[in-house]
């Protein structure tokens, strides 16, 4: 049974008020968590998330973590503190950095004894397995969050998947080699942008003529009518996908969250009705 999650793709930092409102709103539609992406120029999502936790709610906070910027020990200390405030409400999305460019000033902690140049995508990939192992050995107070590993690199998956609870992969990478992910992870989360229009043809035309020049972003999209998209989401579930991370397609076309939220709610309710019947 697929669990649905939401990705906040806004470049601007979320205010505390906006974040609190977003989490309350998304839980009403049945989302299990919201991914809060992290940018160095924005204020820290860990602190804001801990501040807005409502103990009466269940929706989880999925925080993006970059191993080449944060030590495993510090991440585990922060995760343990979050667990004291809100038990079982934290998910860590370990970002591989493989799709980013070169970054300046990234030096691993001296005690890591790593000679890898983590300022490059290849260096960051090489660094991931060791960091994941260290994370698994330094859980504070026995408080282990749900760990996601986001990478499409086969070598990294084979070495580090055993430390993750969920493998996170973009739609096009999953469809290119489903077995790589399904055979190495206990749970697989596919990330996709949703573009809903009246017909498949209308959505396809708008996608092809969109303002985005990023070809891969268009391949991450599931598009068409509500029924087209519902069918594709259910097909992913039938393939063995356990979790789906959605966003509203604003990287490629203009669209509000509403139609996506309503579709997710509809799928979840139909599933509940079938169980009752």
User: Alpha-carbon dihedral of residues 80, 190, 53, 76, nearest 10 degrees?
Assistant: 10
H or E element in which residue 194 lies: strand 187-196
pLDDT tens profile 44-86:
888 999 999 999 999 999 999 988 778 888 899 999 999 999 9
Distance of alpha carbon 148 from alpha carbon 80, whole angstroms: 17
Map residue 257 onto helix, strand or coil: coil
Give the pLDDT confidence score for residue 116 in this predicted structure. Answer: 62
Average pLDDT (196-202) is: 94
**CA distances, 27 to each of 31, 35, 168 (Å):** 5, 13, 21
Pairing of strands 146-150, 33-36: unpaired
User: Residue 201 has what pLDDT?
Assistant: 95
Which of the pair, 17 or 116, is modelled with greater confidence?
A: 17
pLDDT at 25 over 60: yes
Does pLDDT of 223 surpass 50? yes
274 has a pLDDT exceeding 50:
yes
What CA–CA distance (Å, rounded) separates 31 from 246? 10
pLDDT score of 59:
97
pTM of the model: 0.90
Given this model, what pLDDT does residue 97 score?
Answer: 67
pLDDT: which is higher, 188 or 8: 188
Q: What is the pLDDT of residue 217?
A: 73
The proportion of the chain whose per-residue pLDDT surpasses 70, expressed as a percent, equals 83
How many CA atoms lie less than 13 Å away from 45 in the CB half-sphere? 25
Residue, of 226 and 106, whose pLDDT is higher: 226
pLDDT digits (tens, 9 = 90+) for 156-178: 999 999 999 999 999 999 999 99
């Amino acid at each position: 049974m697929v669990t649905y999650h939401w990705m906040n793709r806004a470049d601007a930092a979320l205010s505390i008020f906006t974040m609190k409102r977003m989490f309350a709103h998304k839980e009403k539609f049945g989302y299990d968590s919201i991914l809060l992406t992290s940018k160095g120029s924005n204020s820290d999502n860990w602190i804001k998330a801990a501040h807005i936790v409502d103990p009466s709610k269940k929706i989880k906070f999925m925080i993006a973590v970059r191993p080449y910027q944060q030590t495993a020990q510090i991440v585990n200390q922060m995760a343990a503190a979050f667990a004291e405030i809100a038990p079982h409400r934290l998910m860590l999305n370990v970002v591989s950095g493989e799709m980013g460019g070169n970054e300046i000033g990234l030096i691993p902690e001296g005690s890591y004894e790593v000679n890898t140049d983590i300022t490059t995508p290849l260096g960051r990939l090489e660094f991931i397995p060791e960091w994941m192992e260290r994370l698994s050995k330094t859980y504070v107070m026995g408080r282990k969050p749900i760990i996601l590993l986001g990478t499409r690199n086969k070598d990294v998956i084979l070495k580090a998947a055993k430390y993750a609870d969920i493998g996170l992969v973009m739609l096009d990478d999953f469809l290119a080699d489903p077995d790589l992910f399904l055979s190495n992870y206990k749970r697989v989360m596919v990330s996709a942008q949703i573009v809903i229009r009246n017909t498949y043809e209308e959505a396809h035309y708008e996608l092809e003529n969109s303002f985005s020049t990023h070809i891969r972003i268009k391949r991450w999209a599931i598009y068409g009518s509500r029924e087209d998209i519902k069918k594709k989401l259910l097909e992913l579930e039938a393939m063995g996908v356990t979790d789906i991370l959605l966003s509203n397609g604003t990287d490629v076309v203009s669209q509000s969250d509403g139609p996506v939220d309503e579709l997710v709610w509809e799928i979840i309710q139909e599933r509940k009705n079938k169980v009752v019947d």
